[in-house]
Amino acid sequence: MEYLIGIQGPDFVLVAADNVAASSIIQMKHDYDKMFKLSEKILLLCVGEAGDTVQFAEYIQKNVQLYKMRNGYELSPAAAANFTRKNLADYLRSRTPYHVNLLLAGYDEADGPGLYYMDYLSALAKAPFAAHGYGAFLTLSILDRYYRPDLTREEAVDLLKKCLEELNKRFILNLPSFTVRLIDKDGIHDMEKLPIGPK
Amino acid sequence: MALLDVCGISDWVKEDTFSSQKASVDRVNHFNFAALEPELAVPIGVDPAEFLKPFTDCEDGVEGVTIKLKHGTTTLAFKFQHGVMVAVDSRASAGSYVDTQLFKKVIEINPYLLGTMSGSAADCVYWERLLAKECRIYKLRNKERISVSAASKLLANMVANYRGMGLSMGTMICGWDKKGPGLYYVDDNGLRLSGNMFSTGSGNSYAYGVMDSGYRYDLTVPEAYDLAQRAIFHATHRDAYSGGTVNMYHMQETGWIKVSQEDVGELYHRFAAEKK
């Protein structure tokens, strides 16, 4: 039902998430933001079971900020991703596992842009592009076909639009709008919400 | 108990959430007859598995019985230019039996905060009463009223601790604070959403249909009363588990007022007469 996508370029990461908060067959909100700002240059995109997403994401968010307060410097995206994975793994075999699928996107001064794919079994993989949800079945092949490591920002947005158009065309559920954000050395930038009008 | 908490006396006693091995008095000061594990007493001659089968998901009904209660209700709330409208039905059902047609599904937390109930009546009443206690303590400590956002977050975090243990609660916290009118949906999964319009319960889809078609932000007060009442009425007409009376509240800047309580049977005849 929910959809996340991330595309990494040479000096940026582009991420998008749908805006629907649903409960069984009802859309309860049309403008729900599924991205959590962990720090000035790290975003956590989180989908999954109803209460688990916000509870887990806010827990990670507050702990990353606590690290900055205690130590005076921020966690790098790689460190934040591994910290998130460890927490997910620790809860996995407890009485209350968190059923969440995540994308973590960030920009590091030293290592550059990074996109990390994480699923509810706490598998972690650094990838050039990634997607979560049923929509991923339709769009991963588009990313395989057209992705190049040296995409410009405009080309990456066009690739993203290609994916969202495919969802509009073939995905059985209506996902009317998506929040799109771009992370680069200057921080997190909001891009225009993408509703693709009918062609 | 609230006064004891505020005075800090409870700090002396080290307690954890589930301490079945400890004293024979549990957290709520009910003597539990020195039971080592929490136990449930059942009347003689009743087979618990059979008795609970209609309320669970699994066919055999024995392993890990989680009681699934149906949210037999319709409640709704929406924000508009003159505040927040809250409307609920009043039928309490237990399976296919109607317990009462006159159940109060709106909890008046304080003069500026209302909570609606859907799901298990016991869960809703208990947790919203606990929320009322927390809101009162907040006001005593901070000398200002708690915001709607904070109140709903408190409730969401309280029930998040009981994730997976079979709580059943779908509630809307409505109020008016420094930021203006506030409306939050909170449920037993720990989901908490802020929005302009929500409806919960088994009849929610019917209520959404009528609400969405007639809603504008700039409704006048009488128009808003009419819309809220009609949405619940139409839901009670189609949903078997909703009915009784429509209880309506209006949250204004000066606090909430109870607008009306009308029987759906009478509403039916009134609306039918209007259509002619």
Q: B153-187 pLDDT, tens per residue?
A: 999 999 998 888 888 899 999 999 999 999 999 99
Q: Which residues of A touch B (CB under 8 A)?
A: 21, 23, 25-26, 28-29, 32, 49-52, 54-55, 95-96
- Residues of A whose CB is below 8 A from B208: 26
Contact B205 A96 (CB under 8 A): no
B164 inside 8 A of chain A by CB: yes
With beta carbons less than 8 A apart as the criterion, state whether A28 and B133 touch: no
pTM above 0.90, yes or no: no
The answer to whether B120 and B94 have CB atoms below 8 angstroms apart is no
Min distance B190 CA to chain A CA atoms (Å): 4
- Residues in A touching B193 (Cβ below 8 Å): 21, 28-29, 32
Overall average pLDDT of the B134-156 stretch: 95
pLDDT of B97-114, one tens digit each? 888 889 999 999 989 999
Distance CA B56, CA A89 (A): 30
Amino acid of residue A83: F
Residues of B marked as catalytic: 73
Cβ contact, residue pair B191, A50, below 8 Å: yes
**pLDDT above 50 (res B218):** yes
Indicate the residue of B185, B190, B193 with minimum beta-carbon distance to A55: B190
Q: Tell me, what's the pLDDT at B20?
A: 46
Q: For A21, which of B156, B193, B208 is closest by C-beta distance?
A: B193
Distance CA(B188)–CA(B164), nearest Å, equals: 9
Q: Is A114's pLDDT higher than 60? A: yes
Contact A50 B205 (CB under 8 A): no
B245: phi > 0 → left, psi -120 to 50 → alpha, else beta; which?
beta
Task: Compute φ and ψ for A111, nearest 5 degrees.
Answer: -95, -10
Half-sphere CA count of B58, side-chain side, radius 13 A: 9
B-chain residues near A23 (CB < 8 A):
187, 191
What number is the ipTM of this complex?
Answer: 0.85
The reply to whether residue A54 touches residue B190, judged by beta carbons under 8 angstroms, is yes
Poorest-pLDDT segment among A125-139, B118-132, B174-188, B247-261: B118-132
| Residues forming a β-bridge with B181 | B176
pLDDT at A62 over 80: yes
Instruction: Please tell me the predicted confidence (pLDDT) of residue B141.
Output: 97
Residue B35's pLDDT is what? 52
Confidence of residue A198 (pLDDT cuts 50, 70, 90): very low
Is B190 near chain A, with CB under 8 Å?
Answer: yes
Alpha helices in B143-238 (DSSP H): 148-160, 204-214, 221-238
* Total residues belonging to chain B: 276
